[in-house]
Structure 1
């Protein structure tokens, strides 16, 4: 079942269950998927769909940080609820140890040894992980490996 089909099914369940938060998040995600489809000009692949979900989750995390800094507890709670719904559609994430192993292997493969190779190594690792790893976690591990 494609993500779009899953969203349609979940939308019906949310409507019947009067789940306003769930319905709002599903509509937001459907809209983001449709915008991406229009942008690329073809039906989205599974990888592209996953990238859209990861992007939406990143936006929610960024919003959460801003709301916490602004002491907006009402919006913090609402954003956490939205993130919980969105988490159901997130692709399986790699563990930190798996990311570390991938970074070390990639560094060996491309010959990255110093901090000057940071950008090259980040690009190579992110291409391999696609949407299975958070960029900030990869960034931190790459810095540790290159230091």
Structure 2
């Protein structure tokens, strides 16, 4: 079952259960997927849907920071609930240890020795961790590894 089919199935299930938050969250992602299809005039792949999911998660995490600054508990709770729904569709996230191993392996392959080589490392690393690690976390660990050398 593709992610697109899973969204439709899960949305129908949420409607039957009268779970409004879950239904609305899935609808927002489906709308983004359908808009992408309309814009490109072709069906999106699961990989492209994963990109859309990553964008939706990032939007909510960014909004969560603002809601916490504004002390809007109602919006904080709603956004955290939406993030929980979205996380069920995301691939399992890498642990920091796993991420460190992958980064060190790529640094060795590239022969990176300083921060000047960060672009080379990130170019090879990004496709491997896409959707499975937070980009800010990846960037932080790469910087730490490159400054230690």
- Place the TM-score, normalised by the shorter chain, in its bin: over 0.9
Partner of 2:12: 12
Q: Which residue of 2 aligns with 1:128?
A: 128
For 1:86 and 1:2, the matched residues in 2 are separated by 16
Question: What TM-score, normalized to structure 2?
Answer: 0.91
Count of paired positions: 147
Q: Which residue of 1 aligns with 2:84?
A: 84
Match of 1:144? 144
Matching residue of 1:102: 102
Task: Name the SS for the 1:93 alignment partner.
Answer: coil
Residue of structure 2 in register with 1:116 after alignment = 116
Is 1:15–1:23's contact at 8 Å kept on the other side of the alignment? yes
Which region of structure 1 is more displaced relative to structure 2, 25-34 or 127-136? 127-136
Unaligned runs of 5+ in 2: none
Conservation of the 8 A alpha-carbon contact between 1:47 and 1:131? no
Take 1:106 and 1:121, find their aligned partners in 2: how far apart are those partners?
6
CA 1:129–1:41: 2 relative to 1, 3 Å? farther
Matched residues in 2 for 1:91 and 1:38: separation?
A: 26
Other-structure match for 1:55:
55
Question: Does the Cα contact within 8 Å between 2:4 and 2:46 map onto a contact in 1?
Answer: no
Determine helix, strand or coil for the equivalent of 2:12: helix
Residue number in structure 2 paired with 1:65: 65
Residue 56 (structure 2) pairs with residue 44 (structure 1): no
TM-score normalised according to structure 1 size: 0.93
What do residues 32-75 of structure 1 show as CA deviations (whole Å, max 9, x unaligned)? Answer: 11122233432222211111111111111111111111111111
